Amino acid sequence: MQIPSLHPDTVEEVKSRVDIYEVISDYVVLRKRGKDFLGLCPFHNEKTPSFSVSPSKQMYYCFGCQAGGNAIKFLMELEKRSFAETVLDLARRYQVQVKTLEPEQRQELHRQLSLREQLYEVLAVTAQFYQHALWNSPSNPSVSKSALEYLTQNRQLQTETIKKFGLGYAPVGWQTLYRYLVENKNYPAPLVEKAGLIKPRKEGGGYYDAFRDRVMIPIRDILGRTIGFGGRTMGDDQPKYLNSPETELFNKGKTLFALDQAKAGISQSDKAVVVEGYFDAIALHEKGINNVVASLGTALSLDQVKLVLRYCDSKQLILNFDADKAGTNAAERAIGAIADLAYKGEVQLKILNIPDGKDADEYLQSHSSEDYHQLLANAPLWLDWQIQQVTKDCDLKQATDFQQVSQKMVKLLKNISNSDTRNYYVSHCAEILSLGDTRLVPLRVENLLTQISSGKSSGEWNPKFSSKQRFSSGHKNSNKNSSQRKSSLLNNESSLLEQAEALLLQIYLHCPLQRPIISQILEERDLQFSLSHHRFFWRQILEISPNIAAETDLISRLQDRCLEFEIEMSLVSRLFHLDEKTEKELTRAPQVVHATTACMERVLREKRYRHYLELWEQTDPEAEPKRWQSYYDAFYGEKMKLQELDRLRQFSLTDLF
């Protein structure tokens, strides 16, 4: 939706009321570390937490991917929404009165904004309607009774579980919900249609209920708000399950059933279980296994995996899909969606197939939660499971089967980047192909390695790469050593300068007392930042106010500039945040200021020195003796100044970095 420009007072009021810890903890498991909080970054895959949240500064920063900003920026990046939409959502959450720049725009703004709010409201009212219909339906008590019996007897669910998940019943009639929402509650029919609850008739006009005579399962977002429904028939009618369509609120590929109920359990157990069906997840939760979510009838997507892994430090994910052909295909598709993460070890993926082809719900009707926990503990890693699938129903004594299995194994092994892991699975596959004859294992290993290496790109190990070729390649490379060393030195010098400039800017941001000193040094020595993103950042500081004193005001206002100039400011967002090493450097800020500015001045002097030296070398001393002498004096003076700068630096910049 198009949102009119918000009044600055609204933005400032939202920023003043927002609690960044409260906002981010809805999406990331945060643990206290000193005065800040630490968690796994939601913007990139990592095993060790490097995502820091500072309540005192109301900012976040990832030391791994350099993502950083305030609560508004966090939600914009995570939910891929505009600045205005994000501010408005926060305004609703923190009860801030919304004002726009033009008073006449306010009515249109509230109309647009109210769509999402009205959808949430309609869905919440509908969930209550379905729950009421389940427990007492005056129009058709026998039908309602069968729905309740289906849940309590067929599904063996307790009353507490039924209420916890908000289960309900959609009555038989074609317009029962329509009449309740549109005629009784006065919700506009187009709004109810946008919520996915009714459908327009193809002929004759009017609407009919999307769900009829079904047990209803509310689908909730991470905050527990109803965003859609899943409907299950109580017989063999098709389709057995019917989900809400995609709406403004509901995206199947980015939603997981029961995540609002499971996120705490996932964090506590440090692993997540994904099942196929709603009732599999509900049954497991009833048995106290509360780290379980369910996919929504579609192939498990990368977005869904990333969503659930936010709450799991170990990144351990167990897929418990049905053992039938459909379940196996679903597991294969899920593996395909996250194969890159799995091969890199960024997700510890396991596959659980319950014995006798049962799903989790069926299994728990005759087994205990301890039995299920044991199955989880024994679940094979995804590669082991895939190898099992490759060899399943194959006779390796038959040449055709042997060849097919071998080729499929090679395809799996080629994608393993870690050499130790690959060697392990090469040996494992070789043992399988050897059919118990240990004498054949070395031969099978050699054959597998040969097939794996034949598809490798240049630079990877290849048994056909002769020693003569390696010598020739090494000899050619040796001719490049000199230029490579020069390039390395230049890169090191550039890196040192970048770190010096970044550190000086961090001192300016986080040490208000040093600001006038830094400004004075830069002005007196006519120093400028060499890197373009640092120059841009310094211009933003000067435009805001060259003499601003309050640290929080400066950082907050610069954060707003980050939202305006997202691309330009992305390279400097890390400057708002301090790691342990930088915090230590700030304790000796005056010395560091002199060292960093000396580094910047040395770069300036070095450029002048080279410039005058080049002019001096190009000048004929006999034809232009005065010019030749002036260039000499200039480059020699710069050389002396360089030596003086090196002496004046009280400690080496290399010690800083």
Tens digit of each residue's pLDDT (9 = 90 or more) over 456-470: 433 333 333 333 332
- Under a CB-based contact definition with an 8 Å cutoff, are residues 63 and 45 in contact? no
Token reading at 148: 């309740």
Indicate the SS3 state at residue 649. coil
Same domain, 507 and 556: yes
Same domain, 71 and 205: no
- Percent of the chain at pLDDT above 90? 27
Boundary of a domain, candidates 108, 135, 151: 108
Same domain, 273 and 364: yes
Same domain, 513 and 631: yes
pLDDT digits (tens, 9 = 90+) for 330-375: 788 888 778 888 887 778 899 998 877 788 888 898 899 999 999 9
CATH code at position 332: 3.40.1360.10
Q: How many domains does the chain have?
A: 5
Report which of 499, 652, 653, 649 is spatially closest to residue 579, judged by C-alpha positions. Answer: 499
CATH code at position 130: 3.90.980.10
Contacts 24+ apart (CB under 8 A), 560-563: 562/69, 562/73, 563/69, 563/72, 563/73, 563/76, 563/83
CA atoms within 13 A on the CB side of 466: 3
Same domain, 102 and 159: no
Query: What residues contact 520, with CB distance under 8 A and at least 6 apart?
Result: none
> How big is the CA angle at 620 (ends 619 and 626), to the nearest 5 degrees?
80
Cα(278)–Cα(241) distance, integer angstroms: 10
Same domain, 652 and 516: yes
Rounded mean pLDDT of 115-128? 90
CA terminus-to-terminus distance, the chain: 47
Same domain, 185 and 67: no
Same domain, 131 and 237: yes
Query: What residues contact 230, with CB distance under 8 A and at least 6 apart?
Result: 216, 217, 219, 241, 242, 243, 244, 257, 278, 296, 297
Same domain, 332 and 419: no
User: Quick one: DSSP state of residue 349?
Assistant: E
Same domain, 611 and 529: yes
Cα(435)–Cα(431) distance, integer angstroms: 7
Cα(518)–Cα(512) distance, integer angstroms: 10
pTM: predicted TM-score of the whole model, two decimal places:
0.60
pLDDT band at 606 (very low <50, low <70, confident <90, very high): confident
Query: Domain containing 522: what range?
Result: 491-656
CA 481, distance to chain mean position in Å, is 40
Classify residue 562: in a domain, yes or no. Answer: yes
User: Quick one: DSSP state of residue 2?
Assistant: -
**Paired sense of beta strands 348-351 and 316-320, if any:** parallel
Classify residue 149: in a domain, yes or no. Answer: yes
On the question of a cis peptide bond just before residue 239, with omega within 30 degrees of 0, the verdict is yes
Classify residue 122: in a domain, yes or no. Answer: yes
- Under a CB-based contact definition with an 8 Å cutoff, are residues 626 and 633 in contact? no
Same domain, 335 and 408: no
Same domain, 605 and 522: yes
Rounded mean pLDDT of 598-611? 83
Report which of 163, 134, 132 is spatially closest to residue 150, judged by C-alpha positions. Answer: 134
Between 586 and 504, where is the model more confident?
A: 504
Between 230 and 480, where is the model more confident?
A: 230
Highest mean predicted confidence (pLDDT) among 35-49, 364-378, 616-630, 642-656: 364-378
Give Cα separations from 316 to 272, 273, 345 (angstroms). Answer: 6, 9, 10
